[in-house]
A and B are shown apart, each in its own frame.
Chain A
Amino acid sequence: MLETQDVSLIYRNGEGMTYAVKRANVVVRQGEFLGLVGPSGSGKSSLLYLLSGLKTASEGEVSFDGKAYRHLGNDKLIQLRRTRYGFIFQQHFLINYLSVFENIMVGALEQSPGARERARALIAELGLEKQSQRLPWQLSIGQRQRVAIVRALINEPAIIFADEPTASLDQATGHQVVDLLAQYRGHGSIVFVTHDPEMLSQADRVIRMRDGEIVGEEKRNGNHGTP
């Protein structure tokens, strides 16, 4: 469904240029939990930005359901992100003057009663009912990240892109976040970027990166998704 062909992200600096991602070929299968792991500066977040359309490829092609981003145009790419993708970042990026519920609705495609009902159901599912009217600063770090997960899930995306979502959390809370995300496997795919291989215990597949290049791929669990 989502794949790249020799995709590169190049930063030019005067005469010189640096490959953040170099000729990467990745396939994200429907319903799989794909881990991208590597040390700091290995290009894993840059690859996530290319996959999600947050960055434009300098070379190569990224396509979703057979449609290349290059040919989609900016408006349709924005629409794709809004309707089919969900995002979780290292920082929760909750808006600090909005309540938990309102923060979740920021991500909703429409402010309909149906969307509000779904938000309430997800809040209950993730055990945030008592916090739904609180402001972000009144929550623990783990609770904030769970709210960010609900915000990413609100539109039932085809793919969730998680960029180091456990980096600011302790191990136990980090594993809780991973477990929550892993539950979404099957409903949609998860692309999970981390520098900590321990956080990928639930991944179906793990791609290793170093210096902008894919240096290895490892299949883990039984579910490898549908090509």
Chain B
Amino acid sequence: MARRKVRTGLTIFGIVVGVFAVTVMGSMTEYFNAMIDNARAGAGEAIIVSPKGGLRATLSQADVGRIERVRGVKTAAPQLATFFSSLSGASFGPPDQVIGIPPEQINQLWKPEDLAQGRWLQRGDTYQMVIGTSIAKKEKLKVGSILNWRDKDFEIVGLLKETQTAPDGWLIAPLEIVQKTIKRPNLITQINVVPEDPAHATALAAAIQDAVGNVKVQTLDEQLDAIEQALAVFNAILLSSAVLAAIIGGLAVVNTMVMSVSERTPEIGLKKAIGATNGNIIGEFLLEAATIGLLGGAIGFLLGWGMAALLNIGAAEALGGSEIFKVTPRLALIAIGLAVGLGTLAGLVPAWNASRLDPVVALREEA
């Protein structure tokens, strides 16, 4: 292999490009997968009730009352979500939002361990907020900081743990204060329902639908399923283009190995004459092909990892703390495994052909 440095180098480069693409694109799909997984893990048993009838449709306190009366509902917590700032620039995640929730119901929806620092909102809080990690990073906020939003000063009393989902960009404040600040008293955009028995969440969702009527009722799992389905198409497109790049790299290995067998025919003849078995010859060429794959895979993965890190830095600056590439051990295994697998597969036919050479015929080839 070492003697054919240029050709082997170019072949490894082909694999590097393919695995680089797999790593960078794969890290994007891993980010989305992680987002879904985290959301699912944190979803608990909540049922989301949202208004039907377009963007301007809203819910009312009367709806909250109707839901509370449905058998099996433990809590119905009204929520108001509004943009933290006017929409500008690109974002790979949900926009930063101010979330209004009655402080006395917080403990029904969130757990104490969801907090990284500080405390949760509590009864009697007014201009206090609990915020997510990415908005904290973006606005350079910590517990005790004061944030001015819509000409009102809010004290940051708690910091959420990182979830890599929407709450990272949330600023949670008392519902009434948020309604007052945006001058929309009584506005409710969503009702979070906690069932008494999580096992019956789906049945309860149907009961709420019957009781309240003109609303959309979904368990959080159902919402995530819908998002996951949409992402699956995106993931498939990303991965198939990356795998295509890797296969092209694999074809370069085929070419190199065919040339290698052709050039080394007398060497193969000699080895067979002095007692190498067909298995020895196959093993030697497969090892060479797998080594090319491993080298290309490892270099491609490392470069892809570096590129993902650079893009994350760029994204963090441009999008404010939002990382969009996630390199995972699973991705490393897939990327490098794909390269080694393709390399070995590509070497299979040339190795087999080499092993079948008649030693006497092979020795008569011009060295």
Identify the A interface with B (CB < 8 A).
49, 52, 54-55, 75, 78-79, 81-83, 85-87, 89, 91, 93, 95-97, 106-107, 151
Contacts and interface: CB of A to CB of B under 8 A. Distances in A.
Contact of B277 (A49, A78, A83, A151): A78
Chain B CB within 10 Å, residue with most, of A78, A79, A81, A85:
A78
B3 A107 contact: no
A91 B367 contact: yes
B293 interface: no
Given A49-B360, A55-B360, A107 B274 contact: yes
A95 B274 contact: no
A54 B360 contact: yes
Interface of B: 2-3, 266-267, 269-271, 273-277, 359-360, 363, 367
A75 B277 contact: yes
Given A91-B266, A95-B267, A97-B2, A81 B273 contact: yes
A133 to B, nearest CB: 16
A43 to B, nearest CB: 13
Nearest to A90: B363
The 5 closest A-B pairs by CB, nearest first: A82-B275, A97-B3, A93-B270, A81-B275, A87-B273
Contact of B274 (A49, A75, A87): A87
* Interface residue SS majority, chain B: helix
* Interface residue SS majority, chain A: mixed
Chain A CB within 10 Å, residue with most, of B266, B275, B277, B359:
B275
B367 A78 contact: no
Contacts of A91: 266, 363, 367
Nearest to A83: B275
Contacts of A95: 267, 270
A106 B360 contact: no
A55 B269 CA distance: 13
A95 B265 CA distance: 11
Given A75-B277, A97-B2, A97-B3, A106 B271 contact: yes
B310 to A, nearest CB: 38
Contacts of B277: 75, 78
A52 B269 CA distance: 14
Contact of B273 (A54, A75, A83, A96): A54
A78 B360 contact: no
B367 A82 contact: no
Chain B CB within 10 Å, residue with most, of A55, A81, A93, A107:
A93
Nearest to A148: B270
A93 B2 contact: no
A96 B3 contact: yes
A54 B363 CA distance: 11
Contact of B266 (A78, A85, A93, A107): A93
Contacts of B267: 93, 95
A212 to B, nearest CB: 16
Contacts of B3: 96-97
A79 B275 CA distance: 6
Contacts of A151: 274
Contacts of B363: 89, 91, 93
28 contacts: A54-B273, A54-B359, A75-B277, A78-B275, A79-B275, A81-B273, A81-B274, A81-B275, A82-B274, A82-B275, A82-B276, A83-B275, A86-B274, A87-B270, A87-B273, A87-B274, A91-B266, A91-B363, A91-B367, A93-B266, A93-B269, A93-B270, A93-B363, A95-B267, A95-B270, A97-B3, A106-B274, A151-B274
Contacts of A75: 277
